[in-house]
């Protein structure tokens, strides 16, 4: 499953980048959304969007991720898993910076932005990518730690709703094009897929056995 999700992520991200650079594909709908979003704004939605965009900011995600790593490393005493979580978040930060400067896309026009202007590259949405990876890692940790089905469903639901919500807030506030957010989601899923593959591979290496294989009895 991890390999399949990684392939889907890479293909989707490549298509989105190609569309942005060629001014085609889904990116042709970005100006349409930009023009319509300001008419949808009201005070209540704006408060929610501001909160979501704050929770999905680089600083907030960094703090949340640090707490998660400490929880896993100290409370569970699983330093290897904690190291994988750190690597995933560091890779996410590098991916955000690298792709932003590679694509170098301008953000929506100032008149469409609700708040102070942002002159940094738009593609992908760093808020969306960071939130998708962090909440995905959190969901994975919860799924491993808790056996209750409702807890696992809640964790996955929070991941989906949180990722989409933060992404939507960035479009709502006019800081990103829709395809920026879609790229953030696609790339985030890719990072999670690689992390899942790495965790499984490292687990097999650490324990020295493969699923379904018969364990040899340990010497007395």
Each residue of 72-117: pLDDT tens digit? 988 778 888 899 999 999 999 999 999 999 999 999 988 889 988 8
Q: What is the pLDDT of residue 204?
A: 61
* Token duo for residue 67: 């707490």
Cβ–Cβ < 8 Å for 129, 96: yes
Number of neighbouring beta carbons within 10 Å of residue 168: 20
| C-alpha dist (Å) from residue 106 to 20, 97, 176 | 11, 14, 9
Q: What is the pLDDT of residue 27?
A: 93
Q: What is the pLDDT of residue 179?
A: 97
Report the length, in residues, of the chain: 220
In sequence order, the 6+-apart residues with CB closer than 8 A to the CB of 213 are: none
Residues 119-132 have pLDDT tens digits of 899 999 999 999 99
Closest CA to 137 of 211, 75, 83, 58: 83
Q: What is the pLDDT along the chain (220 residues), one digit of tens a residue?
A: 778 999 999 999 999 999 999 988 899 999 999 999 998 999 999 999 999 999 999 999 999 999 999 999 887 788 888 999 999 999 999 999 999 999 999 999 888 899 888 889 999 999 999 999 999 999 999 998 888 999 999 999 999 999 999 999 999 999 999 999 999 999 999 999 999 998 888 776 655 444 444 444 444 4
Cβ–Cβ < 8 Å for 220, 160: no
Looking at beta carbons, which pairs linking 101-107 to residues 24 or more positions away fall under 8 Å? Answer: 103/17, 103/20, 103/21, 105/20, 105/177, 105/180, 107/175, 107/176, 107/177
Q: What is the pLDDT of residue 205?
A: 66
What gap in Å lies between CA 185 and CA 41, rounded to an integer?
Answer: 23
Q: What is the pLDDT of residue 80?
A: 86
Q: What is the pLDDT of residue 219?
A: 45
Sign, CA dihedral 199-61-37-111, equals negative
pTM: 0.90
Q: What is the pLDDT of residue 54?
A: 96
What gap in Å lies between CA 7 and CA 90, rounded to an integer?
Answer: 21
């Amino acid at each position: 499953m991890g390999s399949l999700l990684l392939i889907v992520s890479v293909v989707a991200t490549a298509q989105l980048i190609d569309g942005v650079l060629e001014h085609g594909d889904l990116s042709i709908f970005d100006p349409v959304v930009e023009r319509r979003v300001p008419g949808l704004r009201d005070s209540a939605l704006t408060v929610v969007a501001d909160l979501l965009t704050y929770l999905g900011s680089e600083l907030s995600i960094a703090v949340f991720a640090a707490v998660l790593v400490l929880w896993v490393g100290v409370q569970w005493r699983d330093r290897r898993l904690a190291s994988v979580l750190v690597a995933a978040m560091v890779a996410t930060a590098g991916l955000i910076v690298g792709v932003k400067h590679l694509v170098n896309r301008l953000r929506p026009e100032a008149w469409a932005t609700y708040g102070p202007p942002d002159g940094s590259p738009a593609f992908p949405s760093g808020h969306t990518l960071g939130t998708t990876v962090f909440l995905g890692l959190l969901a994975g940790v919860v799924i491993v730690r808790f056996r209750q089905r409702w807890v696992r469903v809640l964790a996955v639901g929070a991941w989906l709703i949180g990722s989409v919500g933060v992404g939507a807030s960035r479009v709502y506030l006019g800081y990103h094009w829709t395809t920026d957010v879609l790229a953030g989601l696609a790339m985030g899923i890719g990072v999670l897929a690689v992390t899942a593959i790495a965790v499984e591979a490292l687990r097999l290496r650490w324990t020295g056995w493969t699923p379904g294989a018969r364990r040899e009895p340990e010497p007395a």
